[in-house]
A and B are shown apart, each in its own frame.
Chain A
Amino acid sequence: MNRLRAEGFPEQAIRARARDGAAAAFPPVESYGTTVYGATGAVHRDPLDAIRLAPPIFTPNRMDKLLDLAREPTYGDVDLTTVIGGFTAPVPVYLSAFGSTRVAGPDIGLAISGQAGRLGVPVVIGENVVPVNGYGRLGAVGERSLLRRVRAYAEQLPDGLGGLVVQQSTEDADAEVWNLVYSDPSTRSLLDSGRLGFELKVGQGAKPGIGGMTVLDRADADRVGDQYSLDLVYGAESGRVLRCSSPGTFTPEILRQQIRLMRNNFPRAKTWVKLHPGRDVREAAAVAWQAGADAVTVDGAEGGTGWAPLAFLDHVGLPLGECLTQIDAGPHCLLASGGVWEGARAVKCLALGARAVGLGRAGLLAADEDTEHGLTRLIDCLAFELRLLISSLGEYAPGSVGIKDVWAPGLPVPTHTMPLAGIDTRRRQ
């Protein structure tokens, strides 16, 4: 068999579908738990990649810094301290949500919580950890439970820095994740010090418009079958089952009222909202801020730590740069995640209006490289690059970076901040 050939056509992919059916809509299931997935870049390029950071020659803000210090400032004088969604962080960086997916646990999930806690970097704990892995309050504290991750983070946290954000999506509401965390004695120190937050998960970048997905063993799937829909894409006889969350139905009024209810029910916790890169992301962000969200995260169509259909990784959702260009954050806290691991992309995000950037797959890989120090070193390097890049722009705080600091075809001409008498400062067309 297989004598037929089709030059220039994706023959192998078609043959895989002919063999495996719906299972072939995903990466090979054997890679689940050992691989993180994302856009291949073969189909689209994020506008962020086309942007260049554009240091000026005249640097009035460096002049202010010079006067302040009474010496020439250097990159070491950039203060990266940033208030992220109500939490103070030493760098404009937070750890994006890792859910119950196998790559995030048990060791890596704990390693990330511990290292981020030591640094005082805010961390989001993903949806479905409680319904799938348990909270860990009664009986033994399971390695993958939410409580174990909370403790690993809170025990290391320096005074005055960081914050723990717990995500909930539609099905997690059944397990009352937020009610549980808010009333639990182990989170009290975080709550009393204003360092607990809740994130409403409206969507995610890896699979915009659909809910969370993981692959479960049959025994685990039976346990959570009451809460989630299960799909036998790997065959009725397979030991593996696809677990799907619903994306949840949102209208502007539903989003507005869910945020208000969060603020009503958990007045001492910060309120974060995570949006997928939808075509109406600008309107959704505006609704969230108007309803009182402390932070809105936009997760660009880049990838994820869980499990996503191949079609979504390369073809669905707006690129992160497009989302940032569309959203007008004004004074509000906009957070950006998606493909961030080094300083240039991070500073571009800041320039397009983000207050801070989230590490997703990069955080997992770093912790996988070294569970004790991997994430710490990754963030050290990122912070070093941030200082270099921000100082090159003549600025000394992440919040001072703006649209004036980037160049790209089609972006508005930057306006000069320093008046130059007698000189036409308009860009020559």
Chain B
Amino acid sequence: MIEPVQAPGPREHLTSDVTRAALRLQHHMLTATRDHLRRAGFVELLPPIMGPVTDPGVRGSKQVDVDYYGHRYKLMTSAILYKQASLLAFDRIFYVAPNIRLEPLETANTQRHLAEFHQIDVEVANVGRDEILEVAQGLVRSVVRHVIDAAADELDVLGRDTGAFTDLLGTPFGRISHSQAVSELHGLGHDQNPDAEIDWVGEATLSRKASTPFFITDYPKGSRGFYDRESTTEPGVLRNFDLIAPEGYGELCSGSEREHEYRAIVARMRETGENPAKYGWYLEMVRDGIPGSAGFGLGVERFTRYLAGLDSVWQTTAHPKIPGVVSR
């Protein structure tokens, strides 16, 4: 059993030059994010914190229950269901959203899991996967371009060579399908389950081989939540993607086209072991009609870790919550 990483105490952490540089870098990243998305016609909404249900499609992690006037509510593991709902108001929305996931203890050592983290949560009505991949690529490039100029001092303190981003800014992000990724991992001698998510080790392996971010697309059904849309031409294949950072930093972002038709959503809920009864408000809304959409969640701390070139994701947050590590 590997013991989980221990972050330093708050005084040591918050007064360290590395932490300060990472947090300033993050500040510039969020500024760039907001500027970029506003220019592209997005409306920033304040994210919901809790609700009767939250995103169930999160591998192995536990949701946090809240006693809401005697009823069980959940803190958001992600606001995906609320993003879909928000498209009733605007066609292009984003949040900078806090999420809570009580991750399995084994994730304490992946260097890229936090129990409390933030996502840049984007959703666009009436677009497909190709368009949303363009949005994700455009956002990442725009943020990188901005921080190379605006946060040069911070990157210098962090010892991050901005030459690492030359390819990212100059070349379109590559795409491989999940089945291609599985074949590649099998070729490298890694025992990847072809029906499941790319596991932590497999993902790090593929990431280390890359020099620019790349998309893995078409995950199999059974590896993701009910809201990732199943292909109509290739049953069992989801119209989704992950964005993987190079240099071993791994997954930055997950997204998909969304299921939005009532019958498909109920069937997919059962396939993912969910009890439709607890999604009353959502199913009622879906039955009355919601727009088709696509979107993604880009992990703020993971993105910061990659740009900062830091070892662990806890170094990019002021108040780290490492899975299973409890402050007294």
CB B274 to nearest CB in A, in angstroms, measures: 6
Contact among B71, B102, B222, B324 with A260 in the assembled complex (CB-CB below 8 Å):
B222
Q: Do B271 and A258 touch (CB < 8 A)? A: yes
**Does B270 lie at the interface of the complex (its beta carbon under 8 Å from any beta carbon of A)?**
yes
Q: Do B273 and A258 touch (CB < 8 A)? A: yes
**Does A82 lie at the interface of the complex (its beta carbon under 8 Å from any beta carbon of B)?**
no
Q: Which of B83-91, B191-199, B249-257 lies at the interface with chain A?
A: B191-199
Contact among A170, A179, A267, A268 with B61 in the assembled complex (CB-CB below 8 Å):
A179
**Does B131 lie at the interface of the complex (its beta carbon under 8 Å from any beta carbon of A)?**
no
- How many A-B residue pairs lie within 8 Å, measured between CB atoms? 92
Instruction: Say whether, besides A171-B275, A183-B105, A260-B221, A176 and B62 are in contact (CB < 8 Å).
Output: yes
* Chain A residue at smallest Cβ distance from B223: A264
Contacts of B1 in A (CB 8 A): 188, 192
CB A179 to nearest CB in B, in angstroms, measures: 4
Instruction: Say whether, besides A182-B104, A265-B60, A292 and B195 are in contact (CB < 8 Å).
Output: yes
* Chain B residue at smallest Cβ distance from A263: B196
Instruction: Say whether, besides A182-B104, A192-B1, A264-B223, A254 and B60 are in contact (CB < 8 Å).
Output: no
Contact among B63, B71, B104, B105 with A176 in the assembled complex (CB-CB below 8 Å):
B63
- Chain B residues 131 to 185 lying within 8 A of chain A, measured CB to CB, are none
Contacts of B62 in A (CB 8 A): 176, 179-180, 182-183
CA distance A262 to B270 in the complex (A): 13
**Does A174 lie at the interface of the complex (its beta carbon under 8 Å from any beta carbon of B)?**
yes
Q: Which of B62, B71, B197 has the most CB of A within 10 A?
A: B62
CA distance A261 to B275 in the complex (A): 15
CA distance A180 to B223 in the complex (A): 19
**B-contact 0/1 string along A246-260, CB 8 Å cutoff:** 101111011011111
Q: Which of A174, A259, A261, A263 has the most CB of B within 10 A?
A: A261
Contacts of B193 in A (CB 8 A): 263-264, 267
Q: Which of A179, A192, A263 has the most CB of B within 10 A?
A: A179
**Does B188 lie at the interface of the complex (its beta carbon under 8 Å from any beta carbon of A)?**
no
Which label, helix, strand, loop or mixed, suits the secondary structure of the B interface?
loop
CA distance A268 to B200 in the complex (A): 13
Q: Do A260 and B195 touch (CB < 8 A)? A: yes
**A-contact 0/1 string along B5-36, CB 8 Å cutoff:** 00000000000000000000000000000000
**Does A234 lie at the interface of the complex (its beta carbon under 8 Å from any beta carbon of B)?**
no
Q: Do A257 and B271 touch (CB < 8 A)? A: yes
CA distance A176 to B72 in the complex (A): 12
The size bracket of the interface on B is: 20 to 34
**Does B220 lie at the interface of the complex (its beta carbon under 8 Å from any beta carbon of A)?**
yes
* Chain A residue at smallest Cβ distance from B271: A257
Q: Do B196 and A173 touch (CB < 8 A)? A: no
**Does A68 lie at the interface of the complex (its beta carbon under 8 Å from any beta carbon of B)?**
no
CA distance A74 to B100 in the complex (A): 60
Q: Do A263 and B60 touch (CB < 8 A)? A: no
**Does B59 lie at the interface of the complex (its beta carbon under 8 Å from any beta carbon of A)?**
yes
Contact among A188, A226, A250, A256 with B105 in the assembled complex (CB-CB below 8 Å):
A188
* Chain A residue at smallest Cβ distance from B221: A257
CB B325 to nearest CB in A, in angstroms, measures: 11
**Does B267 lie at the interface of the complex (its beta carbon under 8 Å from any beta carbon of A)?**
yes
Q: Do A260 and B60 touch (CB < 8 A)? A: no
CB A231 to nearest CB in B, in angstroms, measures: 16
CA distance A173 to B278 in the complex (A): 10
Contact among A180, A183, A200, A263 with B195 in the assembled complex (CB-CB below 8 Å):
A263
- Chain B residues 103 to 132 lying within 8 A of chain A, measured CB to CB, are 103-106
* Chain A residue at smallest Cβ distance from B268: A257
Q: Do B272 and A258 touch (CB < 8 A)? A: yes
CA distance A256 to B274 in the complex (A): 14
Q: Do B105 and A185 touch (CB < 8 A)? A: yes
CB A76 to nearest CB in B, in angstroms, measures: 38
Contacts of B61 in A (CB 8 A): 179, 183
**Does A75 lie at the interface of the complex (its beta carbon under 8 Å from any beta carbon of B)?**
no
Q: Do B267 and A254 touch (CB < 8 A)? A: yes
* Chain B residue at smallest Cβ distance from A258: B273
**Does A384 lie at the interface of the complex (its beta carbon under 8 Å from any beta carbon of B)?**
no
Q: Do A257 and B60 touch (CB < 8 A)? A: no
- Chain A residues 213 to 268 lying within 8 A of chain B, measured CB to CB, are 226, 246, 248-251, 253-254, 256-268
Contact among A188, A256, A266, A292 with B60 in the assembled complex (CB-CB below 8 Å):
A266
Q: Do A253 and B275 touch (CB < 8 A)? A: no
CB B2 to nearest CB in A, in angstroms, measures: 10
Contacts of A188 in B (CB 8 A): 1, 105
CA distance A171 to B221 in the complex (A): 22
Instruction: Say whether, besides A254-B270, A264-B195, A265-B59, A170 and B275 are in contact (CB < 8 Å).
Output: yes
Contacts of A264 in B (CB 8 A): 59, 193, 195-197, 222-223
Contacts of A180 in B (CB 8 A): 62
Contacts of B106 in A (CB 8 A): 191, 268
Instruction: Say whether, besides A174-B275, A263-B196, A266-B60, A257 and B103 are in contact (CB < 8 Å).
Output: no
Contacts of A200 in B (CB 8 A): 273
CB A75 to nearest CB in B, in angstroms, measures: 41
CA distance A144 to B70 in the complex (A): 22
CA distance A168 to B60 in the complex (A): 14
CA distance A402 to B274 in the complex (A): 39
Q: Do B275 and A249 touch (CB < 8 A)? A: no
9 contacts between A and B (CB under 8 A): A170-B275, A179-B61, A183-B62, A191-B106, A226-B72, A253-B267, A254-B271, A257-B271, A260-B196
Known: A168-B273, A180-B62, A246-B275. 19 other contacts (CB 8 A): A170-B273, A170-B275, A176-B62, A179-B60, A183-B61, A183-B62, A183-B102, A183-B104, A183-B323, A226-B71, A249-B270, A253-B267, A253-B271, A254-B270, A258-B273, A259-B222, A260-B196, A261-B223, A265-B59
Please provide the 9 A-B residue pairs with the shortest distance between their CB atoms, ordered closest to farther: A260-B222, A257-B271, A264-B196, A179-B62, A265-B59, A257-B222, A254-B270, A183-B62, A264-B223
